[in-house]
Structure 1
Amino acid sequence: MTERKVAIVTGSATGVGAATALGLARRGYDLLINYSRSESEATASAAACREVGADTLLVRADVADDAACRAMVDAAMARWQRIDALVNNAGVTSFAGASNWDALDTPTFHRIFDVNVIGMFQMVRACVAHLKAANGAIVNVSSTAGSLGIGSSVAYIASKGAINSLTLHLARSLAPAVRVNAVCPGMITTRWFADGLGEANFQKLKAQYEQTTPLARACTAEDVAEAIVWLVDGARTVTGELILLDSGMHLGRTPSVAAAKP
């Protein structure tokens, strides 16, 4: 068994997943880098982790496939004989708009739940015995969609709400051996948003977000990764938390000084 800790980060080819993998590598973790489509980006993510001293394993797998989840975990155990952390980051959506119900057909709705919710649960189930043995941690990447009921589509909103509920359930049922938390970002300035919305709409939404949130900024992938790494490698008394990373969006628009005067 390796003396270094080991983490599995699903969907770690790009964006938040890649930034999280690199952040954990810098904290001394070896990494299983998972991807479903972006092989070249996943290879680059693994290379970045190796540059800071991590051993890496690259595994292509769709978390919606239970057999693939179990095979991924088996591969990590064969390589390192331990799993200390699981970051459930893999996710999909349809950028249909929350009010455009007719844009969502049944297969699309199912696919979003298959990856975002069932895939997350399948990864936990496959890892749980090893995480218990390591007194490990799980971090689920959720969204303000699940907390505030806003987001890219009804199916996505519902899936993130399910993740939040499952996070609370798992935190109770796996304590005290395993800590379970979720991060709930608002807007993130990653390719995922830009590709889904189109560049012009992305820039418009970003400007609006920065003008109306109390901290006047959107999250970067690194902002989200920083919180995830803390929940994995620190936060020893934190479990069952749904941490909003939304620059205070949930507080509502901050009144201007002039508007606040009597």
Structure 2
Amino acid sequence: MRRVALVTGSGKKRVGAVVAEELARRGYNIAVHYRTSEAEAADTVAALRALGVEAEAFRADLGDEADVKGMVAGVLTRFGRIDVLVNCAAVWQPKRLEDVTAADVRFHFDANALGTFLCSQHTGLAMVKQPEGGLIVCVGDWAEVRPYLNYAAYFPSKGAVTALTRCLAVELGTRNPNVRVNAVLPGPVMLPPELTDAEKTEAVRATLVKREGSPRHVALAVLSFLDNDFVTGVCLPVDGGRTVYAPE
């Protein structure tokens, strides 16, 4: 039976779509998650099917528990199992601290922290019932340890991802030792389009490798967790050395 991967946030042409493509090239059938990007998700599904795998799009608001439960149930009904979950869905909106509201904080936590938790919880409990278990990969952010200005609502929500990664590695692994939970903490792998050229140059200069990464670097980290089944509860920076380097 062909293995199945659910990749959240893979409808849009961002990191999730690249992760989905790399998993498809490994022979995984793909459940493509989207919230509002129905047309883009359909394009992603078509591209994945062209690689010779089965693919289907599933809509869900990841901050809504009923939606998440429905999505997981839908994937299980369609494919019969889930072997890999990659939590790529995320939001980020810059705003000065003076302007951040409680609604802004809730918006980021619902999408980035609660959404990741709910998907991991309900998919993970399904994996526990599979003798082969499964792999969950969360996506955090390297800069939780050295936050940029003007993202005070965003970074706390991403900091929660590392905590829930360790927590769920323990919770799920004690139920089935073949269920593993890890996280990737990307650095500058897809710089926001609103950055100026000067800001982009500065972001690259601040890495040790002196170049921008790509979404494929995140996908390769996901594949490395697949290849090494002795790794769980790990939060891996994929940041060109940005975490350890403090340029003057």
Does residue 65 (structure 1) correspond to residue 64 (structure 2)? The answer is yes
Deviation at 1:202, TM superposition (A): 4.1
Point out where structure 2 has 5 or more consecutive residues left out of the alignment.
Answer: none
CA 1:169–1:77: 2 relative to 1, 3 Å? same
Deviation (angstroms), 1:121: 1.0
Paired residues, number: 242
Structure 1: which 5+ residue stretches go unaligned?
256-262
* Residue pair 1:146, 1:159 contacting (<8 A) in 2 also: no
For 1:29-68, list aligned pairs within 5 A.
29-68=28-67
The residue matched to 2:243 in structure 1 has which SS?
helix
Identify which of 224, 236, 240 aligns with 1:243. Answer: 236
Q: CA deviation at 1:152?
A: 5.4
1:38-187 maps to which residues of 2 (within 5 A)?
38-96=37-95, 100-132=96-128, 133=130, 134-150=132-148, 153-175=151-173, 176-187=177-188
Deviations, residues 163-199 of structure 1 (Å, cap 9, x unaligned) = 1011111112222231110000112225xx11xxx2x
Looking at CA atoms only, which structure, 1 or 2, has the larger radius of gyration? 1
Determine the structure 2 residue equivalent to 1:260: none
Structure number having the greater helix percentage: 1
Return the alpha-carbon distance in structure 2 between the equivalents of residues 139 and 202 of structure 1. 31
AA aligned to 2:172 is L
Separation (CA, whole Å) in 2 of partners of 1:151 and 1:47: 39
1:21 maps to amino acid? A
Give the direction of change, closer, same or farther, for the CA distance of 1:170–1:49 in structure 2 (3 Å limit). Answer: same
Secondary structure at the counterpart of residue 9 of structure 1: strand
Q: Could you give the per-residue CA deviations for residues 7-59 of structure 1, whole angstroms, max 9, x where no partner exists?
A: 11100022110000001000011111011122222112111211111101111
Are 2:97 and 2:150, in contact at CA under 8 Å, matched by a contact in 1?
Answer: no
Aligned twin of 1:210: 204
Aligned-pair CA distance for 1:151: 6.3
Matches of 2:146 and 2:127, distance apart in 1: 31
Question: 1:118 and 1:102 mapped to 2: Cα distance?
Answer: 25
Question: Normalization by structure 1: what TM-score?
Answer: 0.87
| Match of residue 189 from structure 2 | 188
RMSD over aligned CA atoms reads 1.6
Distance 2:180 2:235 in 1: 12
Name the % identity. 34
